Structures are given as C-alpha cells and as structure tokens.
Chain A
Amino acid sequence: MENILRVDESHSATAAMVSLKGRMDASSSPAAETVLSRLIESGERRIVVDMSDLDYISSAGLRVLLSSLKRLRDDDGRLLLAGLKPQIQNVFEIAGFQRIFTIYSTTEEAVSSFSAPK
C-alpha cells in the first residue's frame, strides 16, 4: 500500500507547483497535506496543484485541498487547480467544489494567470 500517492513540488518565479500522482484517499492524503501546509507556513501565497496524474480523490482528499484553499484565502493567497481528469472533475462537481476552486485545464494556464493582470 506504499506510495499510492506521490507528491512532488517545484518552484518558479511566479508560483509553487505541487504535483499529485496516484490516489488521494484517507490514507494517502496526509502526505499532500504536509507539503501544502509547509508551503503555506513558509509564506508561499501562489500555489498551483497539478492534478493531471491524479487518478482518484476521496472526500478526505477534497478536505486537504479545501483547507489549503481556505488558509491561503485568509492570507490573500491563491490556490489554483489544473489538469483534472474527467473522474476527478466529476467528484468536484458532485460535491459542488467546482464553484469554490479555480480550475484550469493545464498548469501553464494556471501559472500564467498569476502574471496576467487581474
């Protein structure tokens, strides 16, 4: 059951990127939460979550993303999601989360939205 979720992070001049690969369920989501919390605590205010390799997300995974979104919002930061597979999109739609998250089809679009004038 090891490594069912791989969490990678990278940094660019515009934003921090967190890539999620695999399955985000109650057992694996804490790994993503650790990385996101560390980024937020270290002062990162622009985070893009690359979900193009994420195959499954449970409500525990949604909770991790939601808590990061709320924490960033409280500090005038932004969390953007990118590259959701159809089944992931579907989970977001059922829970109604497409309304509170800003979702882009690719990470490039998400990153460039930071540099574009608001």
Chain B
Amino acid sequence: MLPSLLPTFIVLFQMMCVIVVFAYLITRTRYFSEVADGQFSWKNQLFLIVLFGILSIYGSESGISVLGAQINVRDLGPMVAGLVAGPLVGLISGLIGASYRITMGGFTMVPCSLATILAGLLAGIVWLLAGRKFPGIIVAVSFAVIIEGMHMGLVLLLSRPLSQAVEVVSDVAVPMIAANAAGMFIFSFIISNLEKERETQGERDRYHKELERKNAELQIARDIQTSFLPEKIPVIPRYMLAACSIPAREVGGDFYDIITFPAKKIGLIIADVSDKGVPAALFMALSRTVVRANAEWHNAARDAIQGANATISADSRSGMFVTLFFAILDQESRRLTYVNAGHNPPLLFRPGFDPIPLPATGIALGALADADYEERSVDLYPGDVLLFYTDGVTEAIDSRYSQFGEERLAELVRQNINLPPDDIIEEINRAVSAHSGETAQFDDMTLMILKVEG
C-alpha cells in the first residue's frame, strides 16, 4: 500500500512546490501590484489571463490519474485569477484551462471543462462582492472547497454512465478538494502577506514623508526665529555685552534683543513667552517686532512697553503672554532706565554688595490690555555686572526635579565676576548642563550679561 501511494504524494508535493514558486513570482510582478491597487489596463489583465491560463493547463497536466479520472488543480488558476482580478480575467483564464481540458477528452470532459469556466467566473463575482478586491484567506479557501464540491456535482449530473461517475467522484472528491484548497491557501497566504507588507510600507512611507515635512518646517521656523535674534552683539565702548539663547525644542519662546538708539543709548531686551514650540515661536516673533517698533517710536521705556502691551493683548486670545524686561542704557551717564513686565528680576552684581534684583514694575505683556507700567532707573558703576536670564536657567531640573536655582546662579556669577561676559555665560551653561544631565528640559534658556568697564 505505502509504496504504491508514495509516487502520488511526490507528485502532489511537486505540484504544491510549483504553485508556491508560481504564486511568489506572479505576486511580485508590477502587473499584479497594479491590479491589486485597482489600476486595470488591458496589458496587466492580459498578463494575468495568460499566466493563470497556463497555471490551469499545468493543473491538468500535473494531475494524477485515478481510474481514468484525474486528481488535478486545473480550477485553481482561474479561481485565483477571478479572486484577484475580477470576472473577466477569471472567465478567460477559465476558458483557456477548459479548452485544454477538452483536448484531453474522456467521459468527464464536459463537466470538468464547465467547472473550470464557472470557477473563474464565480471567483470574479466573489471579487465583486468583496468590494472589487481579494476577499481574504478564509473566504478564498472556503470558495475553493465549494467550487470543487460543485465540480464533483457536475460530474455526477452530466457524466454517464452514472455508476462510473459515482465511482470516480467517490475516489477523487476528497483528494481533489484538499489539493485545490491547499493550493488556494498557498496563494491566499502569499497574497495577504503581500497586502500587509504593502500596507505597512505605505504607512511607513507616509509617516516618513510627514516627518520629513515637519522637520523641514521646523528647520525653517528655527532659521526664521534665529534671524530675529541680533546677528551680532554690537560693540559698546567701555561696556562688555554677551548673550545666548538655547531653545528646549527646535523653536522656542525666549528671545533677547539689542537696539541701538541715537544719542549713545542702547536698548536691552530679554523676554520669555509663556509656552513652547511653534505657537510660542510665532508669539515671540510678534512680540519682538511690536516691542522693537514701540521702542523705536517712543522715547520713554514706559511708553514703549505700554504701547507694546496694548497691541500684544489685542492679539492674545489663547491666554499667551510674554514676560519682558526692557532697559535703556545711557552710555555716557551710565544710567539704566528700565521697565520690567513680569520678568524674573535681572540681578545687578556690584563688588562688595549682595546681588541687587531689578524687580517687576508691571504685569507680563499680553495679560491685561490696559495695564500700567512703572519706569525705574539705576546708576551703574565700573565693575558692575548685570545678569539677565529667563527661568529656563534657574528652573532647569535634574532627574529628581530639583531645580538649578537662583542661589546657585548668583553664586556662579559672583565666583566668575572677573571673567568677560561670554566666559561667564559659558560657565553658567556648563554648570546647568552638569546639573540637568540627561534629563529632558522643557524650557528655553536665555542669558545676557552686561559688564561696565572702567
């Protein structure tokens, strides 16, 4: 018994190998992809008709003869053709397989040929019902089982003598159904794998494109924002000035500005917008422009800030605001006149004294449209160092949320008071990075230092 079955198994195994290779190759072609995407052309349809027609012929040829009837997978080609490309492709490849079957003759010729044609056509109808696409593994395999059942029914219905038809069907029905279902499973498996692969690839491509676009936009935003910071710090005789701004994200809400006024006056601005990212960056651009325009228009610092606040408040619907310190330095008299709109008090370091804070003289810009601002003055002396900063510096956290702190910042400046301002800034940046380590920071850090020379 076993030796006689072995050749049958080998043939069936060969058959399955051919189907695997065929399924793999056909699904990797451009024509198959086009059809899977729903882009039909006469070219890709013809290609699939011919190939699945050939598969159907191969199905007849590779069949194993049992009592003159064959266990074969002739219906497989047209079924797959119909399930992936619709009734037309299914029908015509079925006709090709059927024509070949007719040339083989035999008493089951009519029902077998008819079954192959119907297999292709009905598969196409399933494709239509599935919404003009491949219906998936379960439907496809069930469909193959039903079609082979129908094939057997047609043999019983049309082949005569009936006794012989019954004998053939009872011998081949189970192996035929199993062989075609197995073949269909192989195809379906490869096709649905391919579909998944294409889907994830599509998603990945879309995601990549989106990411690329966002990065490009952020880069542009960053470039624009950087262009809002002074390109270089002006040289002021008998003073030293340095500044630095590090955004926590691609773009930030901090800024500083240095404005050269007539009559040897210099405007100094440091500011912090109440949010991060692109919304803050846009608000920063608005604030910076409005403050600069007002500062150039009004002579008094107080008027400039009051005017700027009215404009910014009118534009702030989301509750956004900006804390801002604006000072006008008279280079000759060394008098610093300032308005502090809710910003962390800058610290004035004077040899032999504790740091002197320059406190807030009004509310943050954008919070209250008709706010009043007070203007104050302080006289500077040689050796004085004035530190402007945003809270991103003092509130930089380590992994346990412990803040860098104002005391540490003040102490650091005191220790390095004899260094030039850019070196002091470098020391501060180094100490803050050492403090925060790998902990992600959520706030921008901006520093500006003015030193009065002898």
Identify which of B20-28, B83-91, B119-127, B318-326 touches chain A: B318-326
One digit per residue, 1 when the CB lies within 8 angstroms of any chain A CB and 0 when it does not, for chain B 361-382 equals 0111001100100000000000
Query: Are B363 and A63 interface neighbours, CB within 8 A?
Result: no
Residue in contact with B345 in the complex, picked from A25, A94, A100, CB distance below 8 Å? A94
B275 surroundings in chain A (CB, below 8 A): 26, 59-60, 63
What residues on B are CB-neighbors of A1 within 8 Å? 440
CB atoms of A23 and B345 under 8 A apart: no
Q: Is B342 an interface residue (CB 8 A)?
A: yes
Residue B272 CB within 8 A of the other chain: yes
Q: Does B395 contact A (CB under 8 A)?
A: yes
Q: Is B442 a contact partner of A94 (Cβ separation < 8 A)?
A: no
**Given contacts A26-B276, A27-B442, A94 and B344 within 8 Å (CB-CB):** yes
Residue B274 is within 8 A (CB to CB) of chain A in the complex = yes
Contact B319 A95 (CB under 8 A): no
Q: Which of A23, A66, A70, A93 has the most CB of B within 10 A?
A: A66
Q: A59-B275, A95-B323 are in contact. List 4 more A-B contacts (CB 8 A).
A: A25-B443, A64-B319, A96-B368, A100-B367
Q: Which 7 A-B pairs have the closest CB atoms?
A: A67-B319, A96-B363, A63-B274, A95-B342, A59-B274, A66-B319, A26-B442
Asked if B391 is at the interface (CB within 8 A of a chain A CB), the reply is: yes
Size of the chain B interface, CB-CB below 8 angstroms: 31
Contacts of A64 in B (CB 8 A): 319
Q: How far is the CB of A59 from chain B (nearest CB, A)?
A: 4
- Of the listed residues A4, A96, A99, the one surrounded by the most CB atoms of chain B closer than 10 A to its CB is A96
Complex Cα spacing A56 to B442, Å: 13
CA distance A1 to B367 in the complex (A): 30
**Majority-rule SS of B interface residues:** loop
Q: How far is the CA of A4 from the CA of B399 in the complex (A)?
A: 12
* Residues A96 and B443 in contact in the complex (CB < 8 Å), given A26-B275, A63-B275: no
What is the bound-complex CA distance between A9 and B395, given in angstroms?
Answer: 28
Quick one: given A23-B401, A59-B274, A63-B275, are A95 and B440 in contact (CB under 8 Å)? no
Chain A contact residues: over half helix, strand or loop, or mixed? helix
Q: Nearest residue in B to A60 (C-beta to C-beta)?
A: B275
A59 — nearest CB in chain B belongs to which residue?
Answer: B274
A19 contacts partner chain B, Cβ-Cβ < 8 Å: no
B305 CB to closest chain A CB (Å) equals 12
Chain A residues, CB < 8 A from B343: 94
In the bound complex, CA of A67 to CA of B283 (Å): 15
Chain A residues with Cβ below 8 Å from B144 are none
Is B360 interfacial (CB 8 A cutoff)? yes
- Which of B320, B360, B395 contacts A95 (CB under 8 A)? B360
Q: Return chain B residues, CB-CB under 8 Å to A59.
A: 272-275, 321, 323, 364, 391
User: Could you jot down 21 A-B contacts, CB within 8 Å?
Assistant: A26-B442, A26-B443, A56-B403, A58-B442, A58-B443, A59-B275, A59-B321, A62-B321, A63-B320, A64-B319, A69-B319, A94-B323, A94-B360, A95-B342, A95-B367, A96-B341, A96-B364, A96-B368, A97-B342, A97-B367, A99-B368
CA distance A67 to B343 in the complex (A): 19
With a cutoff of 8 Å between Cβ atoms, the chain B residues found around residue A26 in the complex are: 248, 275-276, 442-443
Which of A27, A58, A60, A63 counts the most chain B CB atoms within 10 A? A63
Contact of A60 among B276, B345, B360, B440 (CB under 8 A): B276
Contact between chains at B363 and A62 (CB < 8 Å): no
Query: Does A107 have its Cβ within 8 Å of any Cβ on chain B?
Result: no
Q: Which residue of B lies closest to A27 (CB)?
A: B442
Contact of B319 among A68, A94, A96 (CB under 8 A): A68
Contact B395–A97 (Cβ < 8 Å): no
In whole angstroms, what is the CA distance A96 to B391 when docked? 16
Closest to B363 in A: A96
The proximity string for B residues 216-254 relative to A, scoring 1 for CB distances below 8 Å and 0 otherwise, is: 000000000000000000000000000000001000000
Which partner residue on chain B sits nearest A55 by CB separation? B401
Mask for A26-39, Cβ within 8 A of B = 1, else 0?
11000000000000
Q: How long is the Cα–Cα vector from A60 to B253 in the complex, in angstroms?
A: 11
Determine if A4 and B442 form an interchain contact, defined as CB atoms under 8 angstroms apart: no
A2 to B395, CA, bound (A): 19
Contact A63 B360, beta carbon cutoff 8 Å: no
Contact A94 B401 (CB under 8 A): no
In the bound complex, CA of A17 to CA of B215 (Å): 40
Q: Mark B264-302, 1 if CB is under 8 A from A, else 0.
A: 000000001111100000000000000000000000000
Interface string of A66-80 (1 = CB under 8 A from B): 111111000000000
Q: Are A100 and B344 in contact (CB under 8 A)?
A: no
Do the beta carbons of A62 and B362 come within 8 Å of each other? Answer: no
Q: Whole-angstrom distance between the alpha carbons of A100 and B276 in the complex? A: 23
Chain B's closest residue to A4 (CB) is B401
- Cβ–Cβ < 8 Å partners of A93 in chain B: 360
